[in-house]
Chain A
Amino acid sequence: MEGGGRGDGGARDEFFSEAQELVDGLGRDLLMLDEALKRGQSNAELINDVFRGVHTLKGLSGLFGATRMAGLSHQLEDVLDDLRLGRIEMTTKVLDLLFQAVSLYAQILSAEKGESAEPVHDVEQLLLALGQASGKRAGGSASTVAQYDLDPSLLGVLTEYEEHRLRTNLQDGLALYRIRVRFSLMTIDTALDELKVSAKPHGEIITYLPTGAGADTDAIELEILMASRAPLSLLRGAIRGPNVVIEEVQRRSGAGATPPHIPPPTPPPDPFSPLTSVRAPLGLDGASLPSHDSSARGRSPLPTPLFQPAPVASMPHAASAPARGPGPGEVSLRSVSQTVRVDIRKLDRLMTIVGELAIVKTAMARLSERARSRATGPKELAIELGRLNRTLDRHLAQMQSGILEVRMVPLGQAFDKLARVVRQISREHGKDVNLVVTGAETEIDKLIVEELSDPLMHMIRNAIDHGIESGDERMRVGKPPVGTIALNAFQKGNHVVIEVEDDGAGMDPKAIIATAVRKGVLSSYEANDMTPREVLALVFMPGFTTKEVATDLSGRGVGLDVVKTNMGKLGGVVDITSEVGIGTKMTITLPITLAIINVLLVEIGKHLFAVPLASVEEAIALDPAQVRTVESREVLSVRGVSLPLCRLDRLFALERTAPMPSKAFVVIAQVAQRRLGFVVDELIGQSDIVIKPLGKSLKSVRGFAGATELGDQRVALVLDVAVLIEEVLTPGEARYLVQAEGGRA
């Protein structure tokens, strides 16, 4: 921050959240450009959007002293300016550079926040490649430009880009229309949006010129310049409105154009001229373009020859640079923004609830006054208090769900970035992969979305690297040459389920076992007893990889075990199914929010524990007669199905002040497909709690998700059910898994 003073904290936060939004937007626009390019189209509007995004980023990074970002934006802006002004052509290689820039932006932003090191080398590499890209200026011919000169007073308010679009469109033989509209200032945004929607299918809007008498009225008159191939009658039918007048701007020269019977409007050469010159028809009467003397600054004047289809600037070096660019394994997709954009209506609802709470407070005050003056008997008082308590309860519940709602963001935020990753990895790997996304609108806690991006990226990388076969191989086995990765999200009760499914080669259990045994993850003796599911789960073990030669993509020392650990931290689990030759599906199951959870409070030897209700299936009375011991492990038969038991007092070595009560209970917990019964002394009841971390000194203790304070100043430890199940049901003992549950996914 260059001397902005201490009062800039707020502005700097705005900077991070706006920059993050811009970078995310760039990624989305580039994907759309990529789609268009695949269909052999170019999209001037999108390119301009990307330019504007980078342009804004550059301005911002300059203001806030983010120099590396400013440098990157500067070069990028050059390339994009050339692209949008038609000096270079959009190609896959140029797009590669742009995609790379987006991931570098993310790294730079997190470096600016001090969360990681600056990718100095990568930025330099990309700058070099960008320099080469924009250095190649395609030449063109100016021969036809003169015919299209426009009224100087019009040109006086066009930006360079608008002028370029106008010329390009005229050059392409489109007709120019002037749409004159009158809108109320208050409604102009929506009214104009409607007009844009009806105009868009028929051509391109070049600019909007506000006309009219000035700033003193409530209405505004606009002249909209639009280029279109459609005839006037069609446009008049398509763009309707009470105050809409459309006319064609006459063209003087050029084959097939209307004869120049319009008197030259004699436009005053001075751009300060009054409005009348613009109201006059935009006659293309040969009045020459006002020459803006920018040559003094060393730039050529505008009517540079840009309009001939520019020969594609080949970029021999640009192509090699991205391949050596930042390995996707090192790039985090996490956003640096801690901001959640909130629909104002959600806040309004919260405000209403606060109002209701204030009413409750007043009623309480009145009641306490009456109690003090003994105007009310204790019985009435109790009834009143009970009523108030219920009201308070209801409003607090509303408040809680309202605030949770504010924390919720669509998963699409993470998915957008993944689409970029798929493109990048599949290109680097020479595999054609199609990403199909469903359920992007599924909402989940903002914090979880942030933590999800990287694990999902790794799973997708794994799918492309190990799952999807090469095009040739796919053809050989009769699959379509383009592989498919499906990213599905949906809500299931209090959980969000995300599936990453590929139609690749699948995983061979024999190969997995062989690798696991060789790597010492497993003894061959243990391997004999394993179910297919358990075998597949081995890929989540630390240090496991089946490919003999670690490829550039997955061989970065980050395995699926990290994915599993990270999901575990969020209270989620990863499950895997695979069929050789058909494909692999990994499923993440996550709680919707981390903030407040519903728990079952239980007591063991006077100690309180909380079991997240999301993983509790049921709680039953323990019938000692149904407990058997199999290979030194207690197993309970519940309705004919075996359930492994875990005595928490033994596991945690709890001291018992009183003997084990004669009547105990079993809390049956299930995470993914694995079940475990916790034996407890007493069931206390359900409660909504806020989890607090255990603090540094206890961080390494496994099996607890945190602690919570209860209303009566007692503290309960919150069990980390996923970890406990994992610990207790180690692979050798996992045979107690309930097979009958297999079809429930």
Chain B
Amino acid sequence: MRRVLIVEDSVSTRAFVRAVLEDSQFASGLGGCDVVEASCGFDAMRLLPRGPYDLIVTDINMTDINGLELVRFIRKSAHHAETPLVVISTLRAEHDADRALALGANVYLPKPFTPEQLRETVAKLLEGRPVRAQSDGER
């Protein structure tokens, strides 16, 4: 079972990511996939200690704490220094994307992306990594 944290203020984008990653065919290839949703940076910071997560996807353009600040925060935390981190943002935000990569994000996936692109990115990042996340039982 893989656990993915999606940090994104748009509810339908979260729903989209969840639908794509929890799609039974794709998820079964991962041994199951559970998507946890955070609607803002603070939400993410609340959810991070409830990890571990196998992968984190975050938007950049969010109110209060922006995605860059979150990336830095995640990389500083002992539990998530190595967790694969995907930054999703629109094409024109390449300046911000550069900064995210410099701060330690692994991949910048420009919006809009197709379900296939997202699955491919996630599969590649998780390839060969030991399953860290426990099943739903723990909080």
Q: A and B from one assembly?
A: yes
How far is it, in angstroms, between the C-alpha of A19 and the C-alpha of B11 when the chains are bound? 10
* Also in contact, A215 and B49, with CB within 8 A (given A55-B61, A58-B90, A210-B73): yes
Measured between beta carbons, the chain B residues less than 8 angstroms from A8 are 16, 19
Asked if A248 lies at the interface with its beta carbon under 8 angstroms from chain B, I say no
How far is it, in angstroms, between the C-alpha of A8 and the C-alpha of B115 when the chains are bound? 11
CB atoms of B73 and A158 under 8 A apart: no
Asked if B48 lies at the interface with its beta carbon under 8 angstroms from chain A, I say yes
CB atoms of A11 and B15 under 8 A apart: yes
* Also in contact, A52 and B61, with CB within 8 A (given A60-B12, A209-B69, A294-B94): yes
CB atoms of A214 and B76 under 8 A apart: yes
How far is it, in angstroms, between the C-alpha of A272 and the C-alpha of B16 when the chains are bound? 31
Asked if A4 lies at the interface with its beta carbon under 8 angstroms from chain B, I say yes
Asked if A208 lies at the interface with its beta carbon under 8 angstroms from chain B, I say yes
Q: Within A62-90, which residues are at the interface with B (CB < 8 Å)?
A: 62-64, 70, 77-78, 81
How far is it, in angstroms, between the C-alpha of A2 and the C-alpha of B42 when the chains are bound? 32
Asked if B102 lies at the interface with its beta carbon under 8 angstroms from chain A, I say yes
- Interface size for A (C-beta < 8 A) is 56
* Also in contact, A299 and B12, with CB within 8 A (given A7-B23, A189-B42): no
How far is it, in angstroms, between the C-alpha of A294 and the C-alpha of B98 when the chains are bound? 8
How far is it, in angstroms, between the C-alpha of A220 and the C-alpha of B102 when the chains are bound? 24
> Which residue on chain A has the smallest CB distance to residue B89?
A59
* Also in contact, A299 and B45, with CB within 8 A (given A4-B115, A271-B99): no
> Nearest Cβ distance between residue B105 and chain A, in whole angstroms?
11
CB atoms of A156 and B114 under 8 A apart: no
> Nearest Cβ distance between residue B65 and chain A, in whole angstroms?
5
How far is it, in angstroms, between the C-alpha of A739 and the C-alpha of B78 when the chains are bound? 83
Asked if A297 lies at the interface with its beta carbon under 8 angstroms from chain B, I say yes
Asked if A662 lies at the interface with its beta carbon under 8 angstroms from chain B, I say no
Asked if A292 lies at the interface with its beta carbon under 8 angstroms from chain B, I say yes
Asked if B111 lies at the interface with its beta carbon under 8 angstroms from chain A, I say yes
CB atoms of B68 and A5 under 8 A apart: no
Measured between beta carbons, the chain A residues less than 8 angstroms from B18 are 11
CB atoms of A11 and B12 under 8 A apart: yes
Measured between beta carbons, the chain B residues less than 8 angstroms from A185 are 42, 45-46
Measured between beta carbons, the chain A residues less than 8 angstroms from B74 are 215
CB atoms of B19 and A159 under 8 A apart: no
> Which residue on chain B has the smallest CB distance to residue A275?
B76
* Also in contact, A220 and B12, with CB within 8 A (given A59-B112, A159-B60): no
Asked if B66 lies at the interface with its beta carbon under 8 angstroms from chain A, I say yes
CB atoms of A60 and B76 under 8 A apart: no
Q: Within A132-178, which residues are at the interface with B (CB < 8 Å)?
A: 156-160, 162
> Nearest Cβ distance between residue A338 and chain B, in whole angstroms?
15
CB atoms of A56 and B9 under 8 A apart: yes
* Also in contact, A15 and B12, with CB within 8 A (given A63-B111, A77-B92, A208-B64): yes
Asked if B124 lies at the interface with its beta carbon under 8 angstroms from chain A, I say no
> Which residue on chain A has the smallest CB distance to residue B73?
A210
CB atoms of B10 and A59 under 8 A apart: yes
Asked if A188 lies at the interface with its beta carbon under 8 angstroms from chain B, I say yes
Contact of B114 among A3, A192, A293 (CB under 8 A): A3
Measured between beta carbons, the chain A residues less than 8 angstroms from B98 are 292-294
Asked if A383 lies at the interface with its beta carbon under 8 angstroms from chain B, I say no
- Chain B 79-122, CB within 8 Å of chain A: the 1/0 string? 11000000000101111101100111000000111111000000
* Also in contact, A2 and B16, with CB within 8 A (given A60-B10, A185-B42, A292-B95): no
CB atoms of B112 and A70 under 8 A apart: yes
Measured between beta carbons, the chain B residues less than 8 angstroms from A630 are none
Contact of B111 among A62, A158, A214, A274 (CB under 8 A): A62
How far is it, in angstroms, between the C-alpha of A65 and the C-alpha of B41 when the chains are bound? 27
Measured between beta carbons, the chain A residues less than 8 angstroms from B111 are 58-59, 62-63
Q: Which of B12, B45, B112 has the most CB of A within 10 A?
A: B12
CB atoms of A56 and B77 under 8 A apart: no
How far is it, in angstroms, between the C-alpha of A214 and the C-alpha of B48 when the chains are bound? 10
How far is it, in angstroms, between the C-alpha of A15 and the C-alpha of B12 when the chains are bound? 5
CB atoms of A157 and B77 under 8 A apart: no
Asked if A562 lies at the interface with its beta carbon under 8 angstroms from chain B, I say no
> Nearest Cβ distance between residue B83 and chain A, in whole angstroms?
11
> Nearest Cβ distance between residue A131 and chain B, in whole angstroms?
15
Asked if A186 lies at the interface with its beta carbon under 8 angstroms from chain B, I say yes
Asked if B13 lies at the interface with its beta carbon under 8 angstroms from chain A, I say yes
How far is it, in angstroms, between the C-alpha of A43 and the C-alpha of B4 when the chains are bound? 38
Measured between beta carbons, the chain B residues less than 8 angstroms from A62 are 111-113
Measured between beta carbons, the chain A residues less than 8 angstroms from B77 are 214-216
CB atoms of B90 and A59 under 8 A apart: yes
> Which residue on chain A has the smallest CB distance to residue B44?
A215
Contact of A158 among B68, B102, B112, B113 (CB under 8 A): B68
> Nearest Cβ distance between residue B38 and chain A, in whole angstroms?
12
How far is it, in angstroms, between the C-alpha of A714 and the C-alpha of B90 when the chains are bound? 60
Contact of B11 among A18, A207, A294 (CB under 8 A): A18
Measured between beta carbons, the chain B residues less than 8 angstroms from A210 are 41, 45, 65, 69-70, 73
How far is it, in angstroms, between the C-alpha of A157 and the C-alpha of B95 when the chains are bound? 11
Measured between beta carbons, the chain B residues less than 8 angstroms from A691 are none
How far is it, in angstroms, between the C-alpha of A5 and the C-alpha of B61 when the chains are bound? 27
CB atoms of B115 and A3 under 8 A apart: yes
CB atoms of A159 and B68 under 8 A apart: yes
Measured between beta carbons, the chain B residues less than 8 angstroms from A18 are 10-12
How far is it, in angstroms, between the C-alpha of A625 and the C-alpha of B41 when the chains are bound? 80
CB atoms of B90 and A55 under 8 A apart: yes
CB atoms of B12 and A157 under 8 A apart: no
Measured between beta carbons, the chain A residues less than 8 angstroms from B102 are 156, 271-272, 292
Contact of B61 among A14, A159, A207, A209 (CB under 8 A): A159
> Which residue on chain B has the smallest CB distance to residue A196?
B64
How far is it, in angstroms, between the C-alpha of A547 and the C-alpha of B41 when the chains are bound? 58
> Nearest Cβ distance between residue A521 and chain B, in whole angstroms?
50
- Chain B 40-70, CB within 8 Å of chain A: the 1/0 string? 0110011011010000000011011110111
Asked if A302 lies at the interface with its beta carbon under 8 angstroms from chain B, I say yes
Contact of A159 among B10, B23, B66, B78 (CB under 8 A): B66
Asked if A10 lies at the interface with its beta carbon under 8 angstroms from chain B, I say yes
CB atoms of B13 and A59 under 8 A apart: yes
Asked if B20 lies at the interface with its beta carbon under 8 angstroms from chain A, I say yes
- Chain A 1-27, CB within 8 Å of chain B: the 1/0 string? 011110110110011011100000000
15 A-B pairs within 8 Å (CB atoms) are namely: A52-B61, A59-B13, A60-B10, A61-B112, A62-B112, A63-B12, A70-B112, A159-B61, A208-B65, A215-B49, A216-B49, A292-B95, A294-B94, A294-B95, A299-B95
Given contacts A7-B19, A272-B103, A297-B94, 6 further A-B contacts (CB under 8 A): A14-B12, A15-B15, A55-B61, A56-B10, A215-B48, A272-B75
Lowest 8 CB-CB distances: which A-B pairs, in order?
A62-B112, A214-B77, A215-B77, A11-B15, A14-B12, A215-B48, A15-B12, A59-B111
